[in-house]
Amino acid sequence: MDTHYRPLDIENKWYPYWMNKGYFRSVPDDREPFTIVMPPPNVTGVLHMGHMLNNTVQDILIRKARLDGKNACWVPGTDHASIATEAKVVQLLREKGIKKRDISREEFLKYAFEWKDKYGGIILDQLKRLGASADWERTRFTMEDSLSEAVIAAFVDLFEKGKLYRALRMTNWDPQALTVLSNEEVIYSEEKDTLYYLKYPVADDVSQSISIATVRPETILGDAAIAVHPEDERYAHLIGKTVLVPLINRPIPVIADTYVDREFGTGALKITPAHDPNDYEIGQRHQLETIDILTPDGRLNETAQLLVGEDRFNARKLILPMLEAGGYLVKTEEYLHKVGRSERTNAIVEPRLTLQWFLRMKDFAQKALDAVRQDEIKFHPPQFVNMYQNWLDTDHVRDWCISRQLWWGQRIPAWYYQPNGTDNPLIFVAKTATEALEKARIQTGIPNLQIEDLYQDEDVVDTWFSSWLWPISVFDGFKNQEELAYYYPTQVLVTGWDIIFFWVARMAMAGYEWGPALLPGHKKGYMPFKDVYFTGMVRDKMRRKMSKSLGNSPDTLALLDKYGADGVRFGMLSSAAAGNDIVFDAPFDVKTNKILDESQLCDQGLRFCNKMWNALRLVKQWEIVPNPDTADAAEINQLAIQWMEERLAQLQEDQESSISQFRLSEALTDLYRFIWDDFCSWYLELVKPVYGRPIDRPTYDRTVDFFSDLMSMLHPFMPFVTEEIWHLLRSRPEREDCMVTPLIKHKKVNPVLSEDMAILNKIVAAIRELRAEKQIALKESLNVWWASSTKADSLLTQTGALPLVMKMANLAALKPTEEEPAGCITLMADTEKLFVAFEAEINIEEEREKVLKE
RNA sequence: GGGCCUAUAGCUCAGCUGGUUCAGAGCACCUCGCUUACACCGAGGGGGUCGGAGGUUCGAAUCCUUCUGGGCCCACCA
């Protein structure tokens, strides 16, 4: 056997082995279910650190449940990620010389699905490398037929319940993706900009003017008014007057509105209703015209009159010299403000008036809020409840804009009928065109209405409108409730806190919305999951969130190759208490994306594997005989075994408690320390025969039992190394594997034993310390006395204790004494006093003082 | 503007219900040791006024108040 543990071959061996035995598969039976639905990664995604952390946690919980005899079901899948994927496909088509606008929707979707089949879902294979024991036969995709049907069913149902409406609203427009975004998809961050002060001349007296401040001078072309505060004396004389928009001399009124902050800028505000949400509202109040000067992709249109066709940012640059030349530019200032960018494309979001579908959120929010408040859904760590409440607070919650101007997604099942000359179309929402037509015929009273007379909504629904159904739709719950009844609610959701609003809250909403109808009288409740484990964000050394766009994520596959899946799992987890962001310190070269140095945490995990591997080597090389080699050995072994049984019982208890509270890193750290310190450094050293001597069969067997049990306990965390060692420890029957063999519960028998051993350990440590201090070689055996006292006497005279200390500290003799023998150093070990024979000259005084001090 | 979290060893963090697992772990550092499973190791060691200041208490890293750093979420301030 190699002195070093080599993870790669071993990991490559076990994963297919488990798969072939069908251990990941779950079908409903009479066992208690333990269900996790995997947060579906983007179909375009590649494995990054966040996924590894996330899925490691899920795998631990699933493997633990499986070992506990539950029917563990982990459903994997991918998300179609409409905006991101569509952008990617558009890009690829462009490279082929195909423009999206030149092809039909059907052609586009054909390309998109082709691309998805070819490249999509790589990430799921990468998860296998990590050891993820998901039921791959259940792999779902949010845009496969069955799941799309669920989306359509949900849409139709909500429409019929009156919870959906279509309205012209100020929305967040992504000029790059050419679609509207929900509020949650806009990320605001502080950016440096310039504040321009511009002068608007008064129409009937050009010598007078009013100045405003704006960061978007190009939008003056869409101005509809200048607003001042009604009580602002500086501008009272101008209210009601007409001023001229610079450069184009369009007359606009000066109006009074309390929205205006007198302290800001000049105290006068330009009103551009088409391009600012606040301005839009003011415009509505004052019946101002909405002058849209931008094209969907963010260029100035004909209405702008000037700079037509220029991109909005370019227009800003170009308009400045014009304003300056005209004498309209008063001054400029550096200005720090929040800028909203598209979550997916990073383009600066443009407020835009568009016709969209919205979902009324108030009732949904209330139910989702109650579920958490009433502890039907528990958050780990609990402080995320605050964040959740804050967002779902029914006073602020805003309706969810669910339509997107894309093709990659479920097309909105709404058909419109709008005969010439009518203002608003009639809307027919139905699962199919045929049903819509049926409805239309009845409602319009035109029996021979044809499908060609209707037109379907061009938009698709938001990706999250399919994701929120995930815990139901992966079991085809909208069609058939057989599996749903068994697996729902899922046990725990493991996800990053960054999608608490996007996803967690909305799944809760969906659960309570459809649960009662789909599973009437379901005893287990309608929450989609009972617990939510929020993982932290994985950050780099500069504490930045690891992301593809920053390029600061290490090459995860290289990490797996280098440290093994077990090592990486150890590394990810050992510093990842729930909800705490973890700084993953794997230095890497941004340019080559290569790891430069070792990641300490993963390296520690690999070294841990190596430690266990070598413990295995030690055990395997022992020669086994029926009976103990010596009387001392028999005594030591007996004591060691009893102690180990006691410690294991305690460990097991602690593990159950930690894991049930989702303290996974604590559970792993405890195991690490137990295996390294208690098992290897102490227990194995105790029972280890002296060189060349054999071990007795009973001790050997118990040792293998202990080792196996530790492997079982560690298995959920580090599945590969534990399976390997578990098998090498002893030959196993055919259907027995570490992964599926439950651990027998150890019982605590003699709790005092742990304390006694701790004191013996301290005595040994004190003698070792003395050796280190006095440079006494370990080979040199020492004579030691202990000061007689009831405690030390009872401790050291119990079976095995004396030879144990002598073996571990390498003593020639260990005896009680009433008074201090001559030529000795006095030691304190815990409360026990020891005298160690020491022949070299020593300064008795000095030593005495030291002892006194202690 | 509203709200949340956090500050503990050089670094990354545990420390749960105030008190015998209370000042801890890993890494880093120092000393000694290639010893017979493992130098990817072993035996030891140094290192912290628990962010500051008040308070509650017999007792505070832990509870309260406040201040100061750091992070985050929400909200329409040009």
- By the 8 A CB rule, do A722 and A711 touch? yes
Distance CA A235 to C1' B51 in A: 50
Q: How far is the CA of A765 from the C1' of B47 (A)?
A: 21
Count of alpha carbons within 13 angstroms of residue A181, beta-carbon side: 27
Asked if A80 and A408 touch (Cβ cutoff 8 Å), the reply is yes
Q: Which of residues 312-371 of A touch strand B (CB under 7 A)?
A: 337-338
Answer whether A547's CB lies under 8 Å from A346's CB: no
Amino acid, single-letter form, for residue A146: S
CB atoms within 10 A of CB A846: 9
Q: A240-288: per-residue pLDDT in tens?
A: 999 999 999 999 999 999 999 888 889 999 999 999 999 999 999 999 9
* CA–CA dist A753, A268 (Å, integer): 81
Cβ neighbour number for residue A18 with a 10 Å cutoff: 18
pLDDT of residue A595: 40
Is pLDDT above 50 for A368? yes
Q: pLDDT per residue over A731-752, tens digit each?
A: 999 889 999 999 888 888 887 8
With the CA atoms of A744, A749, A750 and A755 taken in that order, what torsion angle do they form, in degrees rounded to the nearest 10? 30
Amino acid, res. A314: N
Q: Determine whether the distance from the CB of A778 to the nearest atom of strand B is below 7 Å.
A: yes
Is any atom of nucleic acid chain B found less than 7 Å from the CB of residue A600? yes
Which A residues between 705 and 734 have a beta carbon under 7 A from any strand B atom? Answer: none
Summary mean pLDDT of chain A? 90
What is the CB neighbour count within 10 angstroms for residue A27? 11
Cβ proximity of A83 and A459 under 8 Å = no
pLDDT on residue A588: 40
Peptide bond into A471 cis (omega under 30): no
Mean pLDDT within A756-776 = 87
Query: pTM to 2 decimals?
Result: 0.93
d(CA A153, CA A465): 12
Within 7 Å: CB of A562 and strand B? no
**Per residue in A626-673, pLDDT tens?**
999 999 999 999 999 999 999 999 999 999 999 998 889 889 999 999
Q: How far is CA A414 from CA A155, A159, A440, A478, A792, in A?
A: 9, 10, 11, 20, 86
Summary count for chain A: helices (H), strands (E): 26, 33
pLDDT one-digit tens code per residue, A687-741: 999 888 999 999 999 999 999 999 999 999 999 999 999 999 999 998 899 999 9
Mark A138-175 as b/e (b = at least 16 C-beta within 10 Å): bbbbbbeeebbbbbbbbbbbbbeeebbebeebbbbbbb
pLDDT at A539 over 90: no
Q: Of chain A residues 369-408, which have a beta carbon within 7 Å of strand B?
A: 383, 386-387, 390-391, 396, 398
Backbone angles phi, psi at A209, to 5 degrees: -155, 170
CA distance A804 to A806: 5
Provide the β-strand partners of residue A428.
A415
ω into A217 cis (within 30 of 0): no
Strand B close residues, chain A 474-503, CB < 7 angstroms = 498, 501
| Residue type for position A120 | G
- Amino acid identity, residue A645? E
Please state, as a whole number, how many other Cβ atoms lie within 10 Å of the Cβ of residue A193.
14
How many Å from the CA of A828 to C1' of B58? 31
DSSP string, A184-231: GGEEEEEEEEEEEEEEEEETTEEEEEEEEEES-GGGGGG--EEEE-TT
Tens of pLDDT, residue by residue over A472-489, are: 999 999 999 999 999 999
The answer to whether strand B lies under 7 Å from the CB of residue A681 is yes
User: Does A853 have pLDDT greater than 70?
Assistant: no
Does residue A660 reach within 7 angstroms of strand B, measured from its CB? no
Strand pairing category for A225-228 and A251-256: parallel
**Would the Cβ of A771 be found within 7 angstroms of any atom in strand B?**
yes
Question: What is the tens place of the pLDDT at every residue in A151-191?
Answer: 999 999 999 999 999 999 999 999 999 999 999 899 888 88
- Check pLDDT > 80 for residue A65: yes
The residues of A between 780 and 839 with beta carbon within 7 Å of nucleic strand B are none
Q: What is the ipTM, given to two decimal places? A: 0.94
**To 10 degrees, the CA torsion angle through A150, A151, A152, A153?**
50
What is the mean pLDDT of the segment spanning A187-212?
Answer: 91
Question: What long-range pairs does A752-759 form, CB within 8 A, spacing at least 24?
Answer: A753/A642, A753/A643, A753/A646, A754/A643, A754/A646, A754/A647, A754/A650, A756/A795, A756/A798, A756/A801, A757/A639, A757/A643, A759/A795, A759/A829, A759/A830, A759/A832
Is the C-beta atom of A698 closer than 7 angstroms to strand B?
no
Give SS3 for A461. Answer: strand
CB atoms within 10 A of CB A421: 5
Of A752, A759, A774, A746, the C-alpha closest to A837 is: A774
Q: In which element (H, E) is residue A171 found?
A: strand A164-174
Q: Which amino acid is at A364?
A: F
pLDDT value for A596? 36
Specify the nucleotide whose C1' lies closest to residue A281 (CA): B76
Is any atom of strand B within 7 angstroms of residue A278's beta carbon? yes
Q: How much of chain A, in percent, has pLDDT values that exceed 90?
A: 70
Stretch A578-587: mean pLDDT: 57
Nucleotide B11, nearest residue via CA and C1':
A585
Q: Nearest protein residue to B76's C1' (by CA)?
A: A278
Q: Which residues contact A187 (CB under 8 A, 6 or more apart)?
A: A340, A341, A342, A343
pLDDT tens-digit map of A123-137: 999 999 999 999 999
Distance in angstroms (rounded) separating the CA atoms of residues A87 and A44:
11
Q: What is the DSSP string of A588-625?
A: EETTTTEE-S--HHHHHHHHHHHHHHHHHHHHHT--EE
Question: Residue A843: which pLDDT band, with cuts at 50, 70 and 90?
Answer: low
List chain B nucleotides near protein: any atom < 7 Å from a Cβ. 2-6, 12-16, 25-27, 31-32, 35-45, 71, 73-78
pLDDT of residue A50: 86
